[in-house]
A and B are shown apart, each in its own frame.
Chain A
Amino acid sequence: MKLLLEHAHVEGIRYYDAYRKHGGYRSVEKALKMSPDEITEEVKKSGLRGRGGAGFPTGMKWSFLAKPEGVPRHLVCNADESEPGTFKDRYLMEFIPHLLVEGLIVSSYALGSNLTFIYIRGEYAWIVDILEQAIAEAKSNGWLGKNIAGSGFDCEIYVQRGAGAYICGEETALLESLEGKRGNPRIKPPFPAVKGLWGRPTVVNNVETLAAVVPIINMGGEEYAKIGVGRSTGTKLMSACGNINKPGVYEIDMTISVEEFIFSDQYCGGIPKGKRLKACIPGGSSVPILPANLLLKTAKGETRYMNYESLSDGGFQTGSMLGSGGFIVFDEDQCVVRHTMSLAHFYMHESCGQCSPCREGTGWMYRILKNIEYGKGKMSDIELLWDIQGKIEGNTICPLGDAAAWPVAAAIRHFRDEFEWHVLNPEESQTRNYGLAHYADPVYVPAVS
């Protein structure tokens, strides 16, 4: 089922005329006849959950927005998509920018934001032009500016480029950066819904979340909630990469199994060269890595599905998270230690340096992992890594500390023998990879034809 990417391959969908011809801006027409609270109610009914990673119900987030008299409110679109493995927003903004603009207009109306910002990561320089053109087109066709479609609602959208910091994807760091300051996360509370951009009530939402508002308004919240399963409603964009035949962005309706997603030709198309599945990070680099045997089936032996609940089944002991949908697949030739090291390097590089556990701990973890990877590790290093990640997790200002700790913790939890092999065979580990061990089912037969 496709809601967001339905017309993604239509010729010229990037431009207003083609977009409008395929039903674009219908949701704005419909929304402006509704009251803002009715829109929020529809979003609540739809069960839409934040697509940026945390999965917080969007309707609830909107209803938390403080509405004091005489104080402007803002909507900020978080397009600072910097998570390794996640590139779904890029696809959406690059090919159907009007969908985001449309979602922003509807959401701005619902939240009462006359001044709305898109904070986009600096590396997406060419997308800024695409978005600005889309905004200009929308404006010249009367969907933005003063008194939109005779409703009396004014709205302007501005695109602001970041300067290349992962941390600015954290909503309060994003607001600081948008205000022109150093992108350090703020200490919460107060939350942005009360004191956000320039101290005004602010909602920060992911690109995909805001785009999903369009089909919700078009089809109604209740209809939208029928798609998917349980609390995972609607469709989700997955950006699949790694050792698969067909890397790319896929829209799924969260009822398919992980097995189907990896092996069916409709989606990732299996693993190249007939190699076997070793592990997978199902939701962007920050979420725990899962070995193949726990990925396809939960610890209870049930099939694992591509949705929020099923992927997090078993907690961090035997599960992971859907996160932002950066699906990274590892085949049997990949080294988990090396992979964990490169992730640790990423988090060391991207830590803002504000609070001590994250600033010092991320670098420490990277150096230990580097030693282990290059055959200089000790057995005690593995225990030490475990201890350090435990001291970072939960003790930092923002979730970057957790995001740095979880991959290391999961790698040690599930792949401890690979770490031990690296320590015990320092020379051999430089020449070959550990391979599969017991992580994958050795006689695996794809169940999906």
Chain B
Amino acid sequence: MAEGTPNFKVTIDNITIEVPAGTSILEAARKIGGDVTPPAMCYYSKLEGSGGKCRTCLVEVSKGSEKDPRPMPKLVASCRTGVMDGMEVKNITSPRVIEARKGVVEMLLINHPLDCPICDQAGECDLQDLSYEHGTEGTRFEFDKRVFEKEDIGDYIQLHMTRCILCYRCVYTADQLTGERQHGVLERGERSEISTYLGKSLHNDFIGNVIDVCPVGALTDKTFRFKQRVWFTKPVDAHRDCENPKCCGKVRLWMRGDEVFRVTARKDQWGEVEGWICNECRFHKKETKDWIIEGPSNVSRYSVISQGHYVNTVPQPKIIDKVIGKEPKLLLNIHDVSEVNRPEIELSEIPGPAHSDDFEKKDDKKLNN
């Protein structure tokens, strides 16, 4: 804490914390951590001017400050509202906030394609987590969703505008990191879209970072698209001496066996990039020999990514026998018609990534050879 800046006491959901003046409510809540922290889809602490747009971080200020104890009439965006001394904030303890957040999540999802099964971001998607925690089951939206054409914006990045929630993070990243922004928001209202001006492509040394800041699967890594689900890959921290002075060289490799499937920047517990990396590191260094491996990354045990360990899985108990007292009639046994995933093969015993060869019968193999 810098000298001279006074400390403000702020109470969030009955937990009091002291933070330096000028801190936003969201940053104060992140210092407390846990459920008290409002979710943020557009705010990014590393990007100046971001935030305030998605409205998921709305909180209720029940007491303005010690000097002016009046509550704020509207819910405020915690990411862009500074704390005051003696401020009292209600997040999960306020039914108004819960209701409004539910509304915002619903609004974010009405035009989202919900194509998680084929989306590369699935498993590390902020919107997935948000809707899981704060959303409702089902939708009340009965109209055609907004659809955009997929757009090819350069050699490395694929833009899938239909999935975009218009957080503007990539715009700020390009503005502040690369200094020469080639994309922005066109049109307005629900027709607004992220795009380059007249089909230009993005080619800047640092443009790959827009993939990392994207909270959804709108900007995806073309060198990784459809290669692997993220929870099948194992995150490993690594570094190298990058020639680019602006690149921090500290990355996370997503590996399966010895194969590096993709390279991303390291992210902290709030899903924010710790240090920006250049395109060279991200897209071209996909060999283990390029990197000095530091060890496995810390992945929150609540993350889907930590769920991808199939070693020694316990088979599901057959409750159905007990319930109806007899074996259920099997209409179609998948193993009679498909060669894939044969039950006698133990997945955890296969070295490296599983391949269709591994499931083929030995004598079939002989025949083929």
Contact = CB atoms under 8 A, between A and B. Distances in A.
B354 interface: no
A360 B100 contact: no
A187 interface: yes
B188 A348 contact: no
Interface string A349-360: 111111111011
Given A182-B185, A187-B80, A349-B189, A355 B58 contact: no
Contacts of B190: 348, 351, 353, 359-360, 362-363
Nearest to A396: B55
Given A364-B141, A395-B75, A355 B54 contact: yes
A397 B54 CA distance: 10
Contacts, number: 90
Interface string B68-91: 000000110100100000000000
A361 interface: yes
A390 B187 CA distance: 26
B187 A356 contact: no
A351 B166 CA distance: 13
Interface of chain A, main secondary structure: helix
Nearest to B105: A356
B334 interface: no
Contact of A355 (B53, B106, B143, B187): B53
Interface stretch (B28-36, B107-115, B245-253, B275-283): B107-115
Interface residues of B, number: 34
A395 B104 contact: yes
B185 A391 contact: no
Contacts of B56: 356
Contacts of B64: none
Given A353-B166, A354-B166, A360-B107, A395 B188 contact: no
Contacts of B191: 353
Contacts of A18: none
Interface in A330-365: 348-357, 359-364
B103 interface: yes
B217 interface: no
Contacts of A329: none
Interface string B184-198: 110111111000000
Given A187-B51, A356-B165, A360-B107, 16 more contacts: A182-B184, A352-B188, A354-B53, A355-B53, A356-B53, A357-B104, A359-B107, A360-B108, A363-B189, A364-B143, A391-B103, A392-B103, A394-B75, A395-B58, A395-B103, A397-B52
Closest 5 CB pairs of A and B: A391-B103, A353-B192, A187-B52, A360-B107, A351-B189
Interface of B: 51-56, 58, 74-75, 77, 80, 99-100, 103-104, 106-108, 110-111, 140-141, 143, 165-166, 168, 184-185, 187-192
